[in-house]
Every structure is written in C-alpha cells, then in structure tokens.
Structure 1
Amino acid sequence: MPDQRASQVQPPTERAGQNPGRRLEDAPITGPVRFGVLGTSSIARRRVLPAMAANEDVDLVSVAGRSHAKAQSFAHPFGVSADADAEALIARPDIDAVYISTPTATHPEWAARALVAGKHVLVEKPIATTADEAQKLVRLAEARGLVLRENFMFLHHPQHDTVRDMVASGRLGHLRGFSSSFCIPPLPASDIRYVPELGGGALLDVGVYPLRAALSMLGPGLGVAGAALRVRPSDGLDLSGEALVYSPSGVLASLTFGFEHAYGSRYALWGSRARVTVDRAFTPPASYQPSVVLEEQDHEETFRLPAADQLACCLSSFAAAVRAGGGASPEEATWRAGAVATMELVDAIRERAVHVSVQGEE
C-alpha cells in the first residue's frame, strides 16, 4: 500500500477502457458475499477476520496490506490468499465487497477506490475525517447503487431495540436528556491513534460512538451547543473531550470521550417519568449478557437480555443488504445519512470546542 499519511485525495474517476465495475443492472448476488480485507489492523486480526471466517453469510477471500508479508501472516490462519497490494485486491473479480481497516485518514481514498471498482464497502469507523469527505463517498455509492456502511458494530446489538421500545411505549415519559460516554485507558505511545496526520485523536476514535448513539436514539438534526477538548501542547491532538448536543425537540445530550480514563462504555436516556441506563453499550463481548436498568421514582427494574454477537449481526446485515440489491433501498439511505451526520457533528465540535492544554501529562 502507498504511504498512509493523510492526503486530500479526490475519489478516482473512471477512464475510457477501464473496467467499470459493478453497476445497478448487474446480476444480483445470491450466495455469501465475498470479502477482501484491506488493512492489517489489530481489530481486523483479532475480531473481523475470525468473524468473517465463522459467518455463513460472508466468504473471506483475500487480505492486502502495506506489507505483503504481514498480509500473508493475517491470511494464513484462514487459508485465504494475500494480495501483493491494495490495488490488486480491489481489482479482483472474485470479490464483491471490501472491508477497510486502514488508518482513519486513508478511509476516504480507499473507500472511493473500492466503490469505483464496483465493490460494496464496509469501512471501519469513522467513514472519513470530515463531513465533506463523507458526503463525497456517499454520492459515489449512491451513483453506483452500492452498499456503503461504517463498522459501527454496536448499532446491530438487539439491546438497543429494547431501549427504543421503552421510549416508543412512553415508559420514560417525555424525553428530557441523553448522556453517553466512551473512554479507554491511555494507549501505547507508538499507537497510530496518537498521530494527527493519520486521523488520530480521541474525537475520531472513541468520540464518534456517543455521537452515533445520540443520533440513533434522538434522530437527525442534532446541533452542537458547545464542547471542550483536552489537547497535547506539542501538536494539539485531542486526548479527551466533552460535548453538549441538542435535538430539534429540545432534548439535551451530554457526551464524554477520551484516551485518559478507566474504561467506560454506557449511555442513559432520562425522561419525565423514568430513566433507562445501558452499560457496556458499545463493545460488549459476544458472550456478555446485557442488563438494561429502568429507574422510576419508587421502582427499579433490571432487564437481563440474551447475549448477542454484534459483529456477526453487523456482517450478516451487510450481506443481506448486498443480496437485497445494493445501496438503492431506503434503509441504505439511512445508513449513509447517519455517516454524514456523525461527521457533521465532529466538524461542529472541532469548530466550537475550547482547547484545554494538558500540561505535564504527555
């Protein structure tokens, strides 16, 4: 793969005589969706490749990365091939979709290349680093009728449907507030999430989870009232932050994220009658049995839900969308709109945030 530094790459355009890739009128995919994996990240090795190999809805075909040797080491345990480079993987005619787990700053370039080659795309979150980049990818996917989704696995966990049902049934009364946090301990100093040029920083890595949860629970049209970011004095990289967001109906949302905390992953919805809280909201293990806690003035109830593998659900949902005809459905339009809306909130937080320099803690 080429140098993974950030670049202002525009989506590549087709040239006369080039293979136009998959189009709307192409024959539908009826069997397992054949995936090529682009990027040799930790999450790809630990989570995604094993999940693909175990999922009957997808077929893991090949892996490519910056280093062919590393790609081979990823591919070997699963008995699949390793392509010489990213371009070779994307050009393969035996691949229907590309999963992208390269550094965040390179997501727009490689997602665009895959879409132009006619491949459906599942890209690690976030889809891009700005709303403008995200919107360009969305337009490209729409024009070609291709599925384009971010790998926000938590959105596929059924525990959140339980919460939505409580809200819809009026159990909480009138919704007044939403709070969410996703924080993790400091990372190794060499981690690429500390490199600004590669799309590093807490906002893009963990902050997008509370943002996407707020969009999922409160709906579109969210605005940013204010924000604060703790940043490194040396380069301004955000290490943690908080944002105050509001919905068109007046629900206030308080969102916390960072690389400087004991682990925490939760959200709560607070209404005029009750509050519901979800712990381990974003990264529950497949074997974890969720507990949703409902608190009323004189009553507390805990709902113990079945365990669920949210990554397996994510892959199966993506495959179902591909087999259903690609990106032309209203459901896919909703996924694309959510990706753009998340990045619009990221842009707004950057614009409005007060920067607090973290002295003596680098």
Structure 2
Amino acid sequence: MTDTAAMPIAIVGVGKIARDQHIPAIAADDRFTLAATVSRSGGVEGVENFETVEDLLAARPDIPALSLCMPPLPRFAAATAALAAGRHVMLEKPPGATVAEVFKLDRLARARGVTLHATWHSRCADGVAAARAWLRDRQITRLRIDWREDVRKWHPGQDWIWQAGGLGVFDPGINALSIMTEILPHPLHLSGAELHFPENRETPIAADLRFAGPGGIDASAGFDWREEDGEVWEITVDTDGGELRLVDGGARLLIDGTEQPVEGPGEYPALYHRFAELIETAQSDVDPAPLVHVADAFMLGRRIVVEPFHD
C-alpha cells in the first residue's frame, strides 16, 4: 500500500474458512487490519460485529474493503451492495453461484471504479507458479486430475453444499480446475461429464470429466467426496519433456518423480497480498474460467443416481 497505515477491512461470513484462513492471513499482513465482521452466528472477539452487510456499510464508511467468505448463493447480494457503496471487494471461491453473477459484479466494479478480486486460493499453492513455468514451452499429451476427499471431514453438517447452487463435489473440485486453468499454456474445454447424485441430494457427490484441447490431448478429471482413506489432491501432466505432478493440492511439485524445491507465503497470505496490490494500482482480477468448466459440466453431464447420502 502507498499509505503506511494499515487499511481497515471487514470479513463477511465468519465460518470455518474465515477462522482457519482469512483471519490469520489478515493478522499477519501489515497492510490490513480487521476492523469489523458481519455474522449472525458470532463474530471475532474484540472486533465490532454487524448483523447484515447493509448495517456495516451504513455504520462504517471508514472501512474501504470487504472480504466475503459466506457461501456462494448469498454472496452476490452482499458483493453488489458493497461495490455499489464504493467499497473494494474480495470474493472467496467460487466468485458466484452462476457465471452471469460474476460478469455482472465485474461490470459493477468497473463502473464504480473499485477493485474486485475474485480469488482462487489453490492457484497460490507453492508449486503452482513453478508448474506453470515448466509447462510453458512443452507439448502436453495427457492430463489427469484426481481430487478425492471425505465430505464428512471437510464439510460436516453444511447443508448448503447439497442444495441447488451449492456445487456439491465441485466445491473442492473447482480448486483443481483453478490450478488446471492456471498452469496449462493453452486452454481446454469440457467435452463430456458424468455426475453422480445421491438420490436424496440436489448436487453431485462425485463427477468424472473429459476435456478437449489442442493436439488431441487426453485430459480427464475425477472428483469424489466418498474417500475415507485420506485426501487425494493430485494433477499429473505428461509432456514431450517428462512428467509433472502436483500433489497435496499443489503444495508439492515433482518432475519425473523428483521433488522440486518450491516456496511461497501460503495460499491465503498470497491472496491478501494480491488484494492489496490490486487496490493500490486500481485494478481488478476476475477470471471465471474454473466456474465456466463447472457450469459446462452441469450442462453436458449425464446424471447418474447413486445411494442416498446421510451426514
């Protein structure tokens, strides 16, 4: 920031992701200070809390930036109110419940002359930038994504993810898609999908995706929320110059089986560093590409009904 004083910022939605990632990242960044929260279920000790975004915007004109950490369905209204009030906005992923929402928020931010940062935290994993650089001049022949975890561990009792608009298994799967769209030198498009819906839920518990791209690339992804033996967050890319693997959600990079040295500040500290840069330079960063793949999967996907899921 150009000013030596820390910029006041508010968090909207004080749930698990805010407490685990956003609040510590803000506390460690001397360019921001947590000045307020919006939460109906309890805020942060020692920080002023409001019931609604509108209450915050009316009472605290001194807070120029908001970080929205609530689920995607209510996020659009909160972002619209904040942008219309001339505040800078950072969006937890996904940036909207629909692609149209993202485009509308982007237009509103530009019209109001404020920053909109639509974040993809997995793009900031330590191995991602190095993977992108290594792939830049190589011919890719095959890409495979395996993204499996236990929904009961990572989303216990979160009914919103099973409701229409909650994305289901694409809530973690979109992290893999955000990395894929970041590291590949040429974009892919979705060519087919199979979506596995529990008979008692509105969103899928598993998905198998196929992609098409230049040179007849063999590209596919498998997402599954029924993995009980630990997390599998891996992307494997075969090229004319060897095999690249990103594991642990992009935190580790292997080339032909050999671990590569990577470093970084961590995903969420990197996001707030980027947010500060965007505000300082009067820019926005809005890339809907991962969400487009998800939307295409729901459009093209063959629906397969599987056994009921009970949390």
Q: Does 2:42 correspond to 1:81?
A: no
- Is the CA contact 2:132–2:182 (under 8 Å) kept in the aligned structure 1? no
Mapping 1:1-362, distance limit 5 Å: 31-67=5-41, 70-71=42-43, 75-76=44-45, 79-91=46-58, 92-168=60-136, 170=137, 173-187=138-152, 190-197=157-164, 199-203=166-170, 205-218=171-184, 221-248=187-214, 250-261=216-227, 262-282=230-250, 284=251, 290=252, 292-295=253-256, 300-306=257-263, 308-324=265-281, 326-327=282-283, 332=284, 335-336=285-286, 338-339=287-288, 341-359=289-307, 361-362=309-310
Distance 1:193 1:264, change over 3 A: farther
* Percent identity between the two aligned chains: 21
Q: Is contact 1:103–1:192 with CA below 8 Å preserved after alignment?
A: no
Quick one: structure 1 residues 314 and 85, their matched pair in 2 at CA, closer, same or farther if it must change by over 3 Å?
same
User: Any gaps of 5 or more consecutive residues in structure 1?
Assistant: 1-27, 285-289
Shift of 1:200: 4.5
Which whole-Å CA distance do the structure 2 matches of 1:58 and 1:164 have between them? 29
| CA shift for structure 1 position 110 | 1.1
* 8 Å Cα contact 1:32/1:319 also seen in 2: no
User: 8 Å contact 2:207–2:224 — kept in the other structure?
Assistant: yes
CA distance in 1: counterparts of 2:179 and 2:215, whole angstroms:
17
Alpha-carbon contact 1:192-1:200 (below 8 Å) kept: no
Q: CA-to-partner distance for each residue in 1:186-239, whole Å, 9 max, x for gaps? A: 326622344314625112x11211221221122575321101111011243211
Decide whether aligned partners of structure 1 residues 137 and 243 sit closer, same or farther in structure 2, where only a CA change above 3 A counts. same
Task: Supply the distance in 2 between the matched residues of 1:124 and 1:189 (Cα, whole angstroms).
Answer: 19
- Once residues 108 and 206 of structure 1 are traced to their aligned partners in structure 2, the CA distance between those partners, rounded to angstroms, is 20
What displacement does 1:64 show? 1.0
- Residue in 2 that maps onto 1:18: none
CA distance in 2, matches of 1:277, 1:253: 14
Contact 2:7 2:32 in 1 (8 A): yes
Aligned partners of 2:8 and 2:62 also within 8 Å? yes
Secondary structure class of the residue paired with 1:268:
strand
Q: TM-score, normalised on structure 1?
A: 0.77
Does structure 1 retain, via aligned residues, the 8 Å contact 2:57–2:85? yes
- Once superposed, what is the RMSD of the aligned Cα atoms? 2.3
Q: Does the 8 Å contact 1:226/1:244 carry over to 2? A: yes
In the aligned structure 2, how far is the partner of 1:148 from the partner of 1:66? Answer: 25
After TM superposition, the structure 1 stretch with the greater mean CA deviation from structure 2, 209-218 or 56-65, is 209-218
The amino acid across from 1:304 in the alignment is P
Q: Within 2, Cα distance between the matches of 1:276 and 1:94?
A: 47
**1:255-276 deviation per Cα after TM superposition (whole angstroms, max 9, x unaligned):** 2223211411121221123111
CA contact (8 A) 1:105 1:197 kept: no
Residues of 1 paired with 2:126 and 2:309: CA distance? 39
Distance (Å, rounded) in 2 between the aligned partners of 1:82 and 1:302: 45
Report Cα offsets for 1:8-27 as digits up to 9, x if no partner: xxxxxxxxxxxxxxxxxxxx
Q: Is the 8 A contact 2:53 2:81 kept in 1?
A: no
Please say which structure displays the higher CA radius of gyration.
1
Given the two structures, how large is their TM-score scaled by the length of structure 2? 0.89
Unaligned 5+ runs, structure 2 = none
Q: Secondary structure at the match of 1:260?
A: coil
Aligned partners of 2:126 and 2:264 also within 8 Å: no
CA contact (8 A) 2:201 2:309 kept: no
